[in-house]
Amino acid sequence: MQESNSWVFAIGFLAQLFFSARILYQWIVSEKAGKVLAPIAFWVMSILGSYLLFIYGVLRNDFAIILGQLISYYIYLWNLNIQNHWQRLNAVIKSILIITPVVALVIMLRDLPHFTHTFFNNANVPLWLLIFGSMGQIVFALRFIYQFFYSAAHKQSVLPLGFWIISLVGSSIIITYAIFRLDPVLILGQSFGFIAYIRNIMIDYNNKKCSVYEK
């Protein structure tokens, strides 16, 4: 059992590694440019991390994690498309990326009573904590919904100021949830992002401040 749990946590940590790497890379390129950027690598690593974290959530019987990934996953794909990177992918890879989360969800919901018992009556996760954790994941995922509408309106893939503010709020809730769950994967992943979120807010503010002075 302990060895099995080690493999589960290994998958979770690898997912968080991709998420941390995307933030670190985005932070570095933004620092160099003096403005907040949304590079292609950010979205590629987001997809890889989301795949793995979805698997981790299933293995941990954690509906809150699964819900958060389902909301944001297809927005990652959309950003690849708007940056003209999606078209370069092989048709088979495209199909796998599109249908995998749907197939996985159908498999999980195939036995609805078992799904409800497993995810909503988890002895390790009280209902109030599940609701709290789900709220954090929803808020955290809303940042990408906001990013989607903002980018669609401006017809380019960008990470606006509101994205980073929502990230801070959602991350705070998730870290609190992770502390109750004694989940080192979520604690480590979210704590790293905190610094990058704050720094991106500062970069965006300074960039806009310089633009005003130049005018």
Exposed e or buried b per residue across 110-123, where buried means at least 16 C-beta atoms within 10 angstroms of its C-beta = eeeeeeeeebeebe
pTM (two decimals): 0.78
**Confidence class for position 2, pLDDT limits 50, 70, 90:** very low
Picking from 19, 38, 64, the residue whose alpha carbon sits closest to that of residue 157 is 38
pLDDT at residue number 119: 58
pLDDT at residue number 47: 93
Cβ proximity of 16 and 49 under 8 Å? yes
The total of other beta-carbon atoms located within 10 Å of residue 100's CB is 13
Tell me the per-residue pLDDT of 111-147, one tens digit each, with 9 for 90 and over: 666 666 655 566 666 777 878 887 887 888 889 999 9
The residues near 22 (Cβ < 8 Å, ≥ 6 apart) are 41, 42, 43, 45, 46, 49
pLDDT at residue number 63: 65
How many DSSP H helices and E strands does the chain contain?
Answer: 8, 0
Tell me the per-residue pLDDT of 26-55, one tens digit each, with 9 for 90 and over: 999 999 998 999 999 999 999 999 888 878
Tell me the per-residue pLDDT of 52-108, one tens digit each, with 9 for 90 and over: 887 887 777 666 677 667 778 899 999 999 998 998 889 999 998 888 777 767 766
Joined tokens for residue 187: 């604690």
pLDDT at residue number 100: 78
pLDDT at residue number 139: 86
pLDDT at residue number 183: 80
How far apart (Å, rounded) are the C-alpha atoms in residues 179 and 184?
A: 8
Tell me the per-residue pLDDT of 165-201, one tens digit each, with 9 for 90 and over: 999 998 888 888 888 888 887 787 777 788 889 899 9
Picking from 60, 69, 174, the residue whose alpha carbon sits closest to that of residue 125 is 60
